[in-house]
Structure 1
């Protein structure tokens, strides 16, 4: 018998809110987290893009100095979000079998700040000044390891590194752990801290970033004919994914069911998506099939929608291929217009918004969509939050990443 996976806890630190209640409220209002960066290195390196979507609440305001010193910024963000999710789930102080608790975490880049700061230290001050904690801080599995230590997760601490699909692919890992019976509870999410001069310069060099330096809050424009690239963001999102049986036994509050998830790969290009959206189509169909859901039951999509000229259209083609004419009735939210693109963590925070959307029956707004691309005729939520139908609400979260990675998660409201 296949076990049901439910979401019982949520935690996040994002550019539009340092906790889930603030994040959700601002997502409904249409708040932008993009702003001009106030770092000396922006001028030092003469960066062509001078803005990003940085954390609304710096981790230094939440963590102790000792914790911050021993963790890469990405792991710091993961820790903040995980503690909120754990407390929100009601598991804090509860008696659980730690041999049945797992971690499934994602990142796109890992500890880039630690790696590059360590390299600078080596070149400028010599090997004796390189911090002993450098390797455990920079490794991509650093966050998963830190969370497994803090919460006593002994059923595995898995790390997904699949670029911008990582956060959603981690949910697929969590679903497999619950359904297979390998774990009763999974601390699942992703974190990314890549607002650093090297990634900024590299993304700008490949023409991926918007160059609207004079108007950062209007820079992320999914589906708009004037879109010119994404806004780099940072943050973390964490969910507590639990077997329904385990959640019921302890009387847990349930936000939604995680009823399906799937991954696929384009095998097309290292950065560009397959232009017809064929890989995304396979992931969507597989996720819905695994969820036992007919496409006509889907009422909401939190789209990947990065605001890049070449990236937005293939997702529409995939949705159209799978949902058909029903797509006209599906409310689509493109929340990177508010948060920026958190790379590997994008699917984690967007899945939180998707869970809350089906839980509350409300879809977040998309901002900066002034002239919708006629080649992408989606039913996009703008202006005011969208109202989802009553009853059995089903929603999708899509994430696609460099390397041709595609990941889709399917949620049902409770």
Structure 2
């Protein structure tokens, strides 16, 4: 029996109890939210997983994506990226390799972390077809389902699956066009396959079979956003909205079947459309957990896209997004290094916290930092900081003559001056 069935029967499982303690909510709140499809807890029957609740009323979670490319295949580096993501405080990982031995890479990554690890089985199926037959268009339909089951047995416990790309979605894309093209690898693979073979997407046409595999292996289904905008001028267009509508209907079906579901959102959105995207997604999916990819709010800052995405993520979280996929400084430029993975996670964690200050009205940490700064209590400041080691290192490398103050103000520290006359 899965978590959804337990929740609907009124059973509070150990997983629900743990997440309730983590989030500071009641156990019955978690049970009811899982029963209603508003919260998920990715689990795995194949390995111990650090439990993480994702959804309504919970802290916004951050995912870090790693993986090889066709140009750079270094498993040790990907394992180090996984470690750095976990060290930086990521709540989950996605292993998205497109080069090398897919199963060996994923096995190594899964062994290196106890975080939930996600994947996109479609990548493996299409790229193996290209290696074997010379082009992705020659993929055999069953290969996607085979890859899904293989990856699940490795302990990959949530998967982005591109079910919403079908003939109706493609019509909208073809009729309206795009300023930034189609940027999803999964979307590109599947549309090319459908057009060449004149067949419907098997993930859509054989959705019941997909659900059977996912339920058997207790995989959380994250509905992939294959039509996401890759340029802010394409945000919230017809193809994106059509895919969302299809995924929303399938998400209800999956939940009723007993498969936990997340619905992914678009990647490039201008500031004034973020709230619309969150409200629309929540409304049409019956408040399923929303996984926002970034979002990037401008297209002109390569090299700084972790900061661009942090702006979008903070606003997304404040309006109700539940899960954020980080972006690294290398986005649009290169495969990220381990250091860039770490920085990307920190940027997204800051953004998630800023959003939660609004969404959940949780500002206790900020109040504690305010008091610690007022009192010039540096150890308390480090303890509250999102990255204590960095804060301490910056202060230590420019040590002040007056150890109470810092070298920004030195002898003219406003807090020290005022404390002589006022007691707060």
TM norm structure 1: 0.30
Return the index of the structure with the highest Cα Rg: 2
> Is the helix fraction higher in 1 or 2?
2
RCO higher in structure (CA 8 A, sep ≥6):
1
TM-score with structure 2 length normalisation? Answer: 0.29
Q: Which has the higher strand share?
A: 1
